[in-house]
Structure formats: C-alpha cells, structure tokens
A and B are shown apart, each in its own frame.
Chain A
Amino acid sequence: MNTIYLDNNATTRVAPEVFEAMTPYFTELYGNPSSMHSFGGQVGHAIDKARQSIASLLGAQPSEILFTSCGSESDNTALAAAVQTRPEKKHIITTRMEHPAILAPCQHLERRQGYRVTYLGVDSKGRLDMDEYREALTPDTALVSIMFANNEVGNIYPIQQMAAMAKEKDVLFHTDAVQAVGKIGINLAELPVDFLSLSGHKLHGPKGIGVLYIRKGVRFAPYLRGGHQERGRRAGTENVPYIVGMGKAAELAAANIVQEQVQVAALRDQLEKEILAHVPLCMVNGDTENRLPNTSNIAFKNVEGEAILLMLDRLGICASSGSACTSGSLEPSHVLRAMGVPFTFAHGSVRLSLSRYTTQEEVEFTARELPAVIENLRALSPFK
C-alpha cells in the first residue's frame, strides 16, 4: 500500500538533497568546529554557509541567526530572553491560537512569576481583532508573541501590521513562524519583528534542529549557558549535520517558494473543493482568505475525528485531527474551541496538509475515498 502523506504540518519528508548534504558530516567530516585543527575547523565553514542560506531565505543577516534544537526551544528562548532583558515590565500579549510551545511558558510566567498575560481571542474564522490588540498594548508590556501562521487551520496573521504597532510602543515582538517559513515569503528586512522561530523538520529538513532569529541590536539573554558556541548565545557543540541539513532545506525552500504557493495551493484547493462537493454537512475551518497554501481543515458533522483518521489510515492516507480523542485529552483542540467551532463539528475536524511532494494522483485518490469513510461512520452514529 502506498503512503499518501497529507500531514505536512506535523512533520515533512526530509528532501533527498538535504539528506545527501548531511551524510558526509556523520561519516567523514565529523570534527568539532571549536577544535584547533583544520579537520575540525573546516566544519565551521559548513556552518557559516548554512547560516548564510537561512539568512537569505528570511532576508536577514547571518549574525542574526541562532541555531537551536527545535522550534519549541526557539519559542522558549525568545520568551525567556524578552522577560529577562525587560525585567521591569510584567505583561505579555499572545493569542489563544498559539502552539503549546508559547502557551505553556506564558502560563508558567503567569502562574509562577506574577506576569499578566493577555490571550487575544479570535472570531469564528480565527481572525484577530486589531482594536483589541491595540488596546492590549500598554507601557507595562514586555513582549508580544503572535504566530505567523496557525498549524491547525493555516490562518496567516497580519504580522507586518502588528509588529509595527508594537514597535511604536517600544514593545518587543516575537513571531512563531514554524508553519510559515518555506510556505510563504518572509522578508525580515521589511518586517519589524525582533524574534522569529523556525523549525527544520517543517520545511523538509531534519528533526532536531531549529532557528531563532534575533534582530541585530535587540538585547538577548542565553537560555543554555556553558560554552562560547553561537557567539555565547547558546552553549553546546554545534549539531553540524543537522545545521548543514537545515541550510540545504532553506536553500530549497527559497527555490521552491513559488511552487509552494501555486502548485501546492492548486492541489489543496482541488482536494477541498472535491470533498465539499461530495460530502454533505461539512465545512472548512479557518480564514480561507488568508491561509497557508498547503493547509485545509475540514469539519465533518456528527462523526468523530479519530475514527476518520483510522479509517483513512487503512487506505494509507495520513492526516490529523483536532478531536478530543486523538490527543488523549477530553476536549477538542484549543484552536477550534477558541474559534467557537460548534461541538457538532469540532470533534469531527480533520486537517489535511500538503507539500511540494504531494501529487495529483494522491489528491484524486483521497478525494475519491474520503466520502465513503464519512458515510460509513455517519451510518454508525446515533446523530443523523
């Protein structure tokens, strides 16, 4: 059975070019860039090159790129740096749509360290209210952290505008761009954010590598201490093969950005259209006007998400769901709840996320098979 991978917001396939670029750094070029011999030293150049590739993808300077171990580390580091460098300010603004890597540290600051956190609400399409945001910015606000794009429904937020509003009030601005980088163009030369997080494995790089962009001139406090690596901003011997892989993934992302926005979007639209046309009682979650080109979140009334996923799994189709049962928690996803998706739909929400490796045939197969899956489960359901 073929695997049809439509769960690219969870993780992506490592591009073959990325894997190829990485392997020599396991087998031959295994030196430590900090060593005083050229065998180790030459590895330092590979790191510089990777840093340059990532800076180019983002429109940043290489010195503004900090390697971390994952997107969650980048998020946590940015938050910790902001509160440590602005200790007199005790207020943070974020949204109810964020990833747990932002929500959990914010809740920690709130409960344990006396911070006040504003969690901006959203409308039924998951959109933020700019007036609510403007009013939330106060002289006591240390940091705003708002995701560039949402992982579950794909909404893209007006980061340009929101970062500019924070800048006017001299408030630090962080954006979790883990889902956005590589899917949509980001140019930090024009985007007034201070911190930006990204993750390797969401853009066809390896798992275990992330990046935190720190704008030049923004004060920083390291999260990991104990070595001079990354100019003293993060201790620990560099994860060279992964850094090289991340650099290659960034190069490929820059080259494929148009393909992502045209070809991937066209396949996504086709898939969504076919499903909506052939399955009664379903709806698209999120802001279809401002959405990642690869993401579709569809809610099927009166069926439960985990059951849908396991039926799809039998067909080789990989997707994910915001239903309560898939997570082991007892409530549907916080994102769908924030949007007020009715319970009749929230438990039956399925996220399909494509990539540049998704084919026309895979989309056609999924669109053909999915209606029967929903119909069968609805036949079992006591709710008609």
Chain B
Amino acid sequence: MWNYSEKVNEHFLHPHNAGALPDANAIGEVGSLACGDALKLYLKISDAGIIEKASFETFGCASAIASSSILTDLIMGMHVDAALKVTNKEIAEALDGLPKEKMHCSVMGQEALEAAIRNWKGEPAVPHAHEEGALICKCFGVTDAQIIRTMRENHLTTVEEITQYTKAGGACGECLDKIAEIVAIELGNKPVQELKPLAPRPLTNVQRMQRTMKIIDEEIRPELAKDGGDIELIDVDGPRVQVALRGRCAQCRSSQVTVKNLVEKMLREHVSPDIIVEEA
C-alpha cells in the first residue's frame, strides 16, 4: 500500500473545486484513458490575467486526484504569469510529498495548468514538437524538453527517476537508451557508450491506442467534419480498431467506404500497416 500523506488522503477523499466550471474561459487537458490518468483543468481568467476560478475533473488514482485538487487551491487568485512558474515540485510539496512512483501526478498538474493558460492565450494546447523538443517516449508522449525541465526542477539524476516523474520509458521501454543519453548530457557527462540502433519493435497496445487517438483527432475527424460527420473510437484490440461513425456519416450509405478508404488508410499510414478498421 502507498504511504500517502494525510494531506493527500484529505484531498483525495474531499477534493476541492471538483467538477466542470460552466463559465471557464480556459481549459487544459492532459493524459488519457490509455495512460491511466487524465486531468481536465478549467480556469476562469479575468481580462487582467488573474485566475479567478479553477476547477478540475480527474480520472486517476488518489495522488492524481489530490494533485489536481491542491493545484486549484494553489493557483486561484494568481496572475497567469505567476501561475506559469508553479512547478510540479511545489504541487507535491503542498501535499506534504508524494511517493516517488507517483511524482508524475504532480507533473500532470503542472502540464494541465500550462495547457489551460496556452488555451486562454489562444495558443495550441499541445505544443508542436519542433518548438518544444523531440518526442522521446512514444507511449506516453513525452518530449526531451519536458524531460530536461522536470530533471532540472526536481534535481533528477537517474533514468528511473525520470520514469517516475514523467512516465517516459514506463511502458515498452524502447526509449530508455535515449533517456539515458539525455541524462548523461544533462549531467555534463559524455554518453557512456555509443548507442546501438534498435531494431523496430512491434507497437505496444498503449502506443497503438495513443497514436490511433491522435490520428483520429488530428487527421480524420477534421476530414469528416467537412461533410458534417464525426467519428468515435470504440476500442483498440491489437491490430483491430473499432470505430463508430457519427453525425451525417452515421446515415451515409457509403460509410463502409469511408471506414476503409479514409480511416483505415490513414491509420495504416500513420500508426501501423497491419491495422484493420471495423465499424462497431
């Protein structure tokens, strides 16, 4: 059993500011069902940039719920510029600490806050890879910039700690060598050895789910929206992807053609060539 502080238990059992905020003018979303935790942060920010209200909805364990709850307490009344300086360490400290395996929950809070403020400023919620560094962990979508920032703010020195704080490397493990390289460079050491190129490994279920969701959201949905349609991802089971067409697509007689020609083609191209798309 986890050794949670009193504060964590208190915020888990009686979360502050839980639920959607109807008059929010900024929303930040991070994580997903596949990852095992997700946070949707709602903010009401005044024209002067003061966070007047904050609330959250969280899917996750006790420490994820507690981190979200304490975050809303911390930032209420703050100017967005000050809020952007809130670190995951401060979130964890406000809870009287988190088990090291759970530090990623505090990082999730910080990231949601950043995403919400970006949203308020009219910037894209997810920073573009070229702006914010290269994607290192494909399973959990962690970039090198995030890894370095978390390392610096929390004085991390090992790959294991980076996984605990950012989740990077926690699923398939393919990126562990790359993380080791980042650690070595960041600590001012040369990489211990020349890294051997890894043979491509089959996608894990987490990766498959993540990439499929991304492609559907970013590529396929906008296509369908042009015709007044929409799509819902039902399930991913190995190479089989189940989707349901919504809106106008649902009544469309050529929906099967859409599924095969558009959805399956896109997913095969961007996720994995063996994908089979089925209508639920």
- Find B57's partner among A304, A325, A340, A380 (CB 8 Å cutoff): A380
Convert B221-256 into 0s and 1s, putting 1 for each residue whose CB lies closer than 8 angstroms to a CB of A: 000000000000001111000000000000000000
Within 8 A of B (CB), among A300-354: 302-307, 310-311, 314, 323-326, 328-332, 337, 340, 342-344, 347
Q: A382 contacts the other chain (Cβ, under 8 Å)?
A: yes
- Find A330's partner among B64, B140, B238 (CB 8 Å cutoff): B140
Whether A314 touches B40, Cβ cut-off 8 Å, given contacts A303-B59, A331-B171, A340-B237, is no
Q: B44 contacts the other chain (Cβ, under 8 Å)?
A: no
Q: How far is the CB of B71 from chain A (nearest CB, A)?
A: 14
Q: A290 contacts the other chain (Cβ, under 8 Å)?
A: no
Closest B residue to A384 using CB positions: B57
Convert B34-68 into 0s and 1s, putting 1 for each residue whose CB lies closer than 8 angstroms to a CB of A: 11111110000000000000000111111011000
Whether A382 touches B38, Cβ cut-off 8 Å, given contacts A304-B64, A314-B13, A342-B237, is yes
Whether A379 touches B19, Cβ cut-off 8 Å, given contacts A304-B61, A328-B101, is yes
Closest A residue to B12 using CB positions: A310
B238 / chain A contacts, CB cutoff of 8 Å: 340
Q: How far is the CB of A197 from chain B (nearest CB, A)?
A: 27
Q: B33 contacts the other chain (Cβ, under 8 Å)?
A: yes
**In the complex, A332→B35 CA distance in Å?**
9
Q: B119 contacts the other chain (Cβ, under 8 Å)?
A: no
Q: B211 contacts the other chain (Cβ, under 8 Å)?
A: no
Whether A331 touches B38, Cβ cut-off 8 Å, given contacts A302-B59, A307-B62, A380-B18, is no
**In the complex, A340→B204 CA distance in Å?**
12
- Find B58's partner among A331, A347, A381 (CB 8 Å cutoff): A381
Q: How far is the CB of A125 from chain B (nearest CB, A)?
A: 13
Count chain B CB atoms within 10 A of each CB in A310, A323, A380 and give the residue with the most: A380
**In the complex, A328→B29 CA distance in Å?**
23
Asked if A325 contacts B60 (CB within 8 A), the reply is: yes
Whether A332 touches B58, Cβ cut-off 8 Å, given contacts A307-B12, A337-B205, A380-B18, is no
Asked if B59 contacts A304 (CB within 8 A), the reply is: yes
A383 / chain B contacts, CB cutoff of 8 Å: 33, 38, 59
Within 8 A of A (CB), among B1-29: 12-13, 15, 18-19, 29
Convert A249-276 into 0s and 1s, putting 1 for each residue whose CB lies closer than 8 angstroms to a CB of B: 0000000000000000000000000000
Convert B55-89 into 0s and 1s, putting 1 for each residue whose CB lies closer than 8 angstroms to a CB of A: 00111111011000000000000000000000000
**In the complex, A340→B242 CA distance in Å?**
13
Count of A residues near B, CB < 8 Å? 30
Asked if B65 contacts A307 (CB within 8 A), the reply is: yes
Whether A381 touches B206, Cβ cut-off 8 Å, given contacts A304-B37, A330-B163, A331-B170, is no
Q: B116 contacts the other chain (Cβ, under 8 Å)?
A: no
Q: B162 contacts the other chain (Cβ, under 8 Å)?
A: no
- Find B59's partner among A310, A331, A381 (CB 8 Å cutoff): A381
Whether A382 touches B36, Cβ cut-off 8 Å, given contacts A314-B13, A330-B170, A340-B238, is no
**In the complex, A311→B61 CA distance in Å?**
11
Q: How many residue pairs bridge A and B at CB < 8 Å?
A: 87
**In the complex, A337→B236 CA distance in Å?**
12
Q: B118 contacts the other chain (Cβ, under 8 Å)?
A: no
A302 / chain B contacts, CB cutoff of 8 Å: 33, 59
Q: B108 contacts the other chain (Cβ, under 8 Å)?
A: no
- Find B36's partner among A310, A314, A325, A380 (CB 8 Å cutoff): A325
Asked if A382 contacts B61 (CB within 8 A), the reply is: no
- Find A380's partner among B58, B101, B209 (CB 8 Å cutoff): B58
Whether A343 touches B209, Cβ cut-off 8 Å, given contacts A328-B101, A330-B167, A380-B15, is yes
A380 / chain B contacts, CB cutoff of 8 Å: 15, 18-19, 57-59, 65
Closest A residue to B58 using CB positions: A380
Within 8 A of A (CB), among B171-202: 171
**In the complex, A340→B238 CA distance in Å?**
8
Count chain B CB atoms within 10 A of each CB in A307, A311, A326, A328 and give the residue with the most: A307
Count chain B CB atoms within 10 A of each CB in A325, A337, A381 and give the residue with the most: A325
- Find B206's partner among A303, A304, A331, A342 (CB 8 Å cutoff): A331
**In the complex, A310→B167 CA distance in Å?**
22
Q: How far is the CB of B26 from chain A (nearest CB, A)?
A: 15
Asked if A347 contacts B206 (CB within 8 A), the reply is: no
Within 8 A of B (CB), among A153-189: none
Asked if A382 contacts B170 (CB within 8 A), the reply is: no
B65 / chain A contacts, CB cutoff of 8 Å: 307, 380
**In the complex, A380→B33 CA distance in Å?**
14
- Find A306's partner among B33, B62, B170, B206 (CB 8 Å cutoff): B62
B33 / chain A contacts, CB cutoff of 8 Å: 302, 343-344, 347, 383
Binding site for A on B (CB under 8 A): 12-13, 15, 18-19, 29, 33-40, 57-62, 64-65, 101-102, 140, 163, 167, 170-171, 204-206, 209, 235-238
29 contacts between A and B (CB under 8 A): A124-B237, A303-B59, A304-B36, A304-B59, A304-B60, A305-B61, A306-B61, A307-B12, A307-B60, A307-B61, A314-B13, A323-B61, A324-B36, A325-B36, A325-B64, A325-B102, A330-B163, A331-B36, A332-B36, A340-B205, A340-B238, A343-B34, A343-B205, A343-B209, A344-B235, A380-B57, A380-B59, A382-B59, A383-B59
- In addition to A329-B170, A382-B59, 5 A-B residue pairs with Cβ atoms within 8 Å of each other are A311-B13, A331-B36, A331-B206, A343-B209, A379-B19
